Every structure is written in structure tokens, then in C-alpha cells.
Structure 1
């Protein structure tokens, strides 16, 4: 995620900032410009969710009749707000969803006809549990995933190395954009060559996956995760989510003007991190070359604070080929998308 500067005083501010801590200026994120700025009342007004638990800092252009910002109004269903826990869960999910909005917008994927809708639901007594997933443009998320303890319990039960709110949103929106970018497109045959034929029975494939030995590591030669082996649609969604992870972390490093020297013998030259979301889009070779040493640094910093790997993956050549495919699809999309 990019960092910003207050346009009133120049002090460092962040994507979620509501106010500059240096000069006190009221700040908002301007979706039409994809930047944080001091609010200009003549041109913008604030999202109606700014002053509740959501703390939404997105602005709305004055000619827009909506009271909610472009991110908040993507959410069509909410859980029972009489439960205070659901209110807090909703706020956490919306924060992650705003970050997703930013990355997708930078990638040219937030046209009016290209925006997913969201249903944030809670389990109800006596009813079937809410299943996180995507169907026909609607992304459903069980809001209990916003609870750190519940998410950790599910991660351990499913033998997953990584499980986050933003990860869920990135994965599920991958299904949405598969339908937009791949289905019925010239990319479909190459997709099938890399990921497999998505026409195989989805329910049977998932059942077979969950009956597998969870400690089988055969998936590592060609997939980003074990779950990616379950079905070509899930392979795409997992790869897509992984690609968005890469874009966010690389943009953060570039935003801080990070320079890197990979420890080698003899030592390699120092080079400046490049923003993968800048235009023109960097080649995938540049993205890959930056990613590997950055994750080593990220993990080492985590270890210094007594935590495990922040990036618990070892990407294989097969997985890199699929990530390159996502990059090429999105590079073409960005070239064709309206400014």
C-alpha cells in the first residue's frame, strides 16, 4: 500500500488516515484520484460511515447523489447490528475491503460494470453455517473471519500456512474477475493449459480435495497452495490472491523508496524498488526479481520480533508461470481500461 503526504503541511500520512497528526488537517481518500488529501468541501463530501465504527475515510464527489462512498456501497447485506461483535467485525472487514478497492482500482478493475458486490453475514442459531464464497458477482463472507482467534482456529484445522481477511477478499474477488477476464476470452485456452479444465465437476473436486492427506506436499511443484490443487477455478483464485499480495507489498516497499542489496558473494549492486502498480506496468521479470529478496527481508524482520514467517511460501517454477499469466492478463487489461 502506498503512503502519502498531507497536502496541507507535507507530513507523512497513511491510506486509512482521518486527520494529519502534524497539522490537524481533515483528510480523506479520493477514489477518483486514488490518493489521500485534505478535504476540499467545494469538491467532496465525506462518506456517511466516517463517523460510526466503520471510520470510513473515503470521500464522495459533490455531484454524486449517494451518501455512501464507492467502497461502502459495494456491501449489500450486513449482519444483525444488535450484536456489538458484529458491528466490530463489519468495521474490520470494511477496512480490508477499502484496501482491496484501492489495489483493484490501480489495476484498472473498478469500472462500473466490473465491481463485485459483498454480503457480510453471521451464522444464525438453527440455520446452516454461512459459507464464504462467490456466486454470480456476489462475494459472501462469514463475518466471524474478522475474529483473530476464530480465523487462527480455522487455519490450524485446515492446515493452512496463511489466513487473513484481506486474503479472503482477494481470493473471492479472483472468482469474480475470472468470469470477467478469462471466461469467453482469448485467454481461456492458455488458462486451461496452465491451470486445468474448469469444466470438471466442481463439487466432486472439492470433496476429493478434503479427503486427501493434508500433509501431502506434492502441490508445491506447480501451485501456490494446497487448496489450489482442488479445482482449476480455485487454482486461479489462489494465484490471483497471491498476485495481489505481491502487488501490495511491493508497492509499499517502493513507496518508502526502499533500496535493496541481495546478500551474495560477490555482492550485487544496490537497486531501487520499483512500484508494480505504476504505469507503464513493469515486466513480470522485474516483479519477480524484486519479490524474492523482499520476502526474505520481510521474514527476517518478523523473526527479529519473535514472530514466524510473514510470507510462509516457497514459490515453485510452476506457480511462477501461473503468476506470470495473471500479470500478463492484467497488463493487457490496464492498457485497455479507461483512464
Structure 2
């Protein structure tokens, strides 16, 4: 996630900002331009309309008109703007959410706001990769649900184009409890959404993209019984400790579908962190005589087809720096992974699939829902 500058005064602002703390300008993210913008009210053009401020420090205004997402004006829960010629009340991210928990419950309202924030971050990364469909086209649908007393447990997962998330995952203590219970080193809202989006894009880019043979050669045959594979994975417990030889995580070893989704999520981690570091013009020199080369981090979205090996050369020292900074503050590693050569082969496969989708200009058309759910 890159950082931005206020259109009006030039000061640093962030992806989730709603106001410039320096000049006071109202801010919103413009999905149609993939940028943060300073806006000024335009009542002469219509009620609730806003116009983007022009060049920094000038009184000149651009011609585009916007209105704030309904979830911003109603719940203070979104900072995406909607072009005035788009008559939907919700922005392109919020309109993907089909079901919500009871928002009269203040705990659910807080959880939903956090989850939508993570979803907007996912939307941004997918849009930057050329994968997020334009408004009105087929894309993932989200359901954010809460457990009900006496009802079935809400399970996070993907089925037939719909991504479901239990809103309890927004609570730090609950997420930590599940992470420990499942023996996971990493569990975050954005991690969940990236993982589940991997299942959605597997349908679009692999299954419907006629890449099944290539996928099976790298990840294995996904036609094996999914439920039985998960049962076998959890039965292994801590005894299944050789997963790191060919997988990015222990859960990835459960089934080829989960291997793909975990690797997909990891690739999104990679491009997002590299973009953030590049925004700060980061250069890293590892204090090791065997790898003391200075690494300048470059934005993976700047090049039309970034080289995977260049990304990895920047990624390794960057994660070392990231973890060292965390440890200096007494925190756990922010990046608790060590990628093997086998895992790198799979990451390269995802990279090539994404680059191929960018070259073709879009993902494939919607297909029939999958017959089984994946987590």
C-alpha cells in the first residue's frame, strides 16, 4: 500500500485518511483513478456532490464530480467516493458486501467497520494488479456474519463466488485464540480476505482459464477428496512438520486448493509490502558479508511486467528489516515465514498467472458455482 499526498497542500496522507491533518481538506479515495484526493463541496452542481481540488495550492478545480459512499455518510465506515455518473449509493468496494450482521449491535458495527477497511485494502491491491472487475461486472460477493445463539457456527470460507467471514475475527482476542488453537503463526483480517480471494480467483484464472494441467504439475491434483484431506491434515497435528519444504504455510499442505489460496495470499502480501517500502524510497543493506549488497525497493506496480526474481531479491532483506524492527519493540515477527525453494516455485506460478491476467485485460466471465466449499 503506497502513501499519498494531499492535493491541496502536499502533506503526507494515507489510504484510510478522511481529512488532511495539515490543511483540513476533506479526503477520499477515488477508485476510478486509484488515488487519494482532496475534495471540496460543489453544491452548485447538485446536493451532496464534491469536486476534486486541482493542482496543489491553486484555486483551480478539476471537472469530475463525486459523492461520498453511503456507508461514509451513514456509518462513517468508508472513505471511497462514487463518481457522480454512477447512480449506486455504495462505492465499488462496499457494494460487493451482500449480507451484514445486525449493525444495531455496537460490537458488530465496530467489527464490520474493521472488516470493510481490510476489504478496501484488498480491493486496492487487486485493482492495482488489474484483477478487480470494473463496476457492474462480475466479482466476489462478501457476507460478513455473526454467530447467533442456538444457530450454526459461521465458518469463514469461499463457495461459488461468495466469501464469508465470521465478524468475530475482527476481535483481537478471538483471532489470537483461534491462531493459537490452530497452530498458526499469522492470522489477520487482511490475511483472511486475501486467502479467500485466492479461492475466487482460482475459479476465474485457473479452472476457467484452462490452466488446470499446469496447476496440477505444481500444486498437485485438486480432485482429491477435500474433506478427507482436511481431516488428515488436522489429525497430523504437530507431527506434520515437513510442510515448509514445498509450502508457504502448514495449512497450505492440507490440499492443493489451500496451497494455492495460501500462496496467492502470500503473493498479495509481497506486492503490497514492496509497494509500501517503495513509497518510502526504502533501501536495505543487510549487515552480512555474504549478502551485503544494497537493495533499493522498487514499486512492483510501476513496471508493466515486474521481474519475479527482482521482487524476491528485494523481499528477503526487506522482511529481515521488518522483523528486526518489530523485535526491537518487543513484538513478534511481523513476517513469521521462511520461504523454501519449493514455495518460491509456487509463488512464481501465481506471479505468472497474475501477469497473464493483466496481459489479457481481465479475468474470465463468471462460471457455475463450485460444488464444494473451501476455507
TM-score, scaled to structure 1: 0.96
Deviation, structure 1 residue 209? 1.1
Deviation, structure 1 residue 266? 6.8
The correspondence of residues 15-26 of structure 1 with structure 2, limited to 5 A, is: 15-26=15-26
Deviation, structure 1 residue 160? 0.4
Asked whether 1:216 is paired with 2:216, we answer no
The verdict on how the C-alpha distance between 1:228 and 1:188 changes in structure 2, with shifts beyond 3 A counting, is same
Match of 2:88 in 1: 66
Question: CA contact under 8 A between 1:53 and 1:88: conserved in structure 2?
Answer: no
Question: CA contact under 8 A between 1:262 and 1:293: conserved in structure 2?
Answer: yes
What are the Cα deviations for residues 222-278 of structure 1, in whole angstroms up to 9, with x where unaligned? 001111111100000000001111111111000111112232327744342111122
The verdict on how the C-alpha distance between 1:266 and 1:75 changes in structure 2, with shifts beyond 3 A counting, is closer
Deviation, structure 1 residue 75? 0.4
The verdict on how the C-alpha distance between 1:97 and 1:267 changes in structure 2, with shifts beyond 3 A counting, is closer
What are the Cα deviations for residues 162-194 of structure 1, in whole angstroms up to 9, with x where unaligned? 000000000001000000000043422111011
The verdict on how the C-alpha distance between 1:54 and 1:233 changes in structure 2, with shifts beyond 3 A counting, is farther
Deviation, structure 1 residue 114? 4.6
**Whole-angstrom CA distance in 2 between matches of 1:54 and 1:287:** 37
Asked whether 1:122 is paired with 2:169, we answer no
Q: Greater Rg, structure 1 or structure 2?
A: 2
Asked whether 1:248 is paired with 2:272, we answer yes
The correspondence of residues 91-106 of structure 1 with structure 2, limited to 5 A, is: 91-106=113-128
Asked whether 1:146 is paired with 2:150, we answer no
**Whole-angstrom CA distance in 2 between matches of 1:90 and 1:53:** 10
The verdict on how the C-alpha distance between 1:225 and 1:269 changes in structure 2, with shifts beyond 3 A counting, is closer
Higher relative contact order (CA 8 A, sep 6+): 2
What are the Cα deviations for residues 63-120 of structure 1, in whole angstroms up to 9, with x where unaligned? 0001110111110000112221111000000000000000000011112445211000
Match of 2:100 in 1: 78
Deviation, structure 1 residue 215? 4.6
The correspondence of residues 1-339 of structure 1 with structure 2, limited to 5 A, is: 1-39=1-39, 41-42=50-51, 43-112=65-134, 113-265=137-289, 268-337=292-361
What are the Cα deviations for residues 205-230 of structure 1, in whole angstroms up to 9, with x where unaligned? 11111111235311010001111111
**Whole-angstrom CA distance in 1 between matches of 2:128 and 2:108:** 30
Question: CA contact under 8 A between 1:219 and 1:226: conserved in structure 2?
Answer: yes
The verdict on how the C-alpha distance between 1:54 and 1:207 changes in structure 2, with shifts beyond 3 A counting, is farther
Q: Secondary structure at the match of 1:170?
A: helix
**Whole-angstrom CA distance in 2 between matches of 1:10 and 1:212:** 55
What are the Cα deviations for residues 107-157 of structure 1, in whole angstroms up to 9, with x where unaligned? 111124452110000001111100100011100000000000000000000
How many pairs were matched up?
A: 338
Deviation, structure 1 residue 53? 4.2
Deviation, structure 1 residue 55? 2.9
